[in-house]
Structures are given as structure tokens and as C-alpha cells.
Amino acid sequence: MSDKIARRGRWILASITAAALATGAAARMRARRSSGQPDAPADVGFMRALHAALRHDLSRLRDAAAQLDSSAGAPATVLAGRVADSGCTPLPASGGRPQPDS
């Protein structure tokens, strides 16, 4: 009897494995079909919308920069490029991270 049960268990395992492989293959084929052609032309409408959004953001940035150029109300430490009461030295002209004062 145990030989009959072992054979039945192998068939069940083989059936489950085959079903899993078939499901995986079907999912892969469905994904490949729905992905579209890789050489398809670009979506020009999306590109135009993105360009318009970037132009809009650039104009807003220019307006904000024009308002910031009037720095008469800024404190002297800000105009000098120093961080007041932070314990850090100003950034070097070449950039980089500020180092704590020792």
C-alpha cells in the first residue's frame, strides 16, 4: 500500500509542478504581449507636456530669483556667506562640506 501512496504523491507533485510552470509561461507570454513593441515611437504628447511643464517651472524659478536678487533686507552674516552661531566655518570657494570650528 505504501508504494501506491508514494506513486500517487509523485503524480500529485508532478501535476502541481506542471501547473506552476504552465501558469508562469502564460504570465510571461501575457506580459510580453502587453508590454508593446520595444521599437515603438516615443509618445510625442507626453514629451510636449513634459516640455511645457519644464518651461513653466523655469519661468517660476526666474520670477523667484528676481525677487531674491533684492537682498537689501538680508543680514550681514548671510551676505558675507557665514552661518551665524552654528559652530561651522563657511564653505570654501571650491565647495565641500563645512567643518566644525575647533
**How many residues in total does the chain contain?**
102
Alpha-carbon span 39 to 100, nearest angstrom? 54
Give the pLDDT confidence of 56-97 residue by residue, as tens digits: 999 998 888 887 766 566 777 776 776 555 566 655 655 555
Instruction: Evaluate if residue 47 carries a pLDDT over 80.
Output: yes
CA dist., res. 78 & res. 89, Å (int): 13
Confidence check: pLDDT of 26 > 80: yes
User: Does the predicted model carry a pTM greater than 0.75?
Assistant: no
Whether pLDDT at 54 is above 90: yes
The pLDDT, as a whole number, for residue 56 is 94
Residue bearing cell 521599437: 39
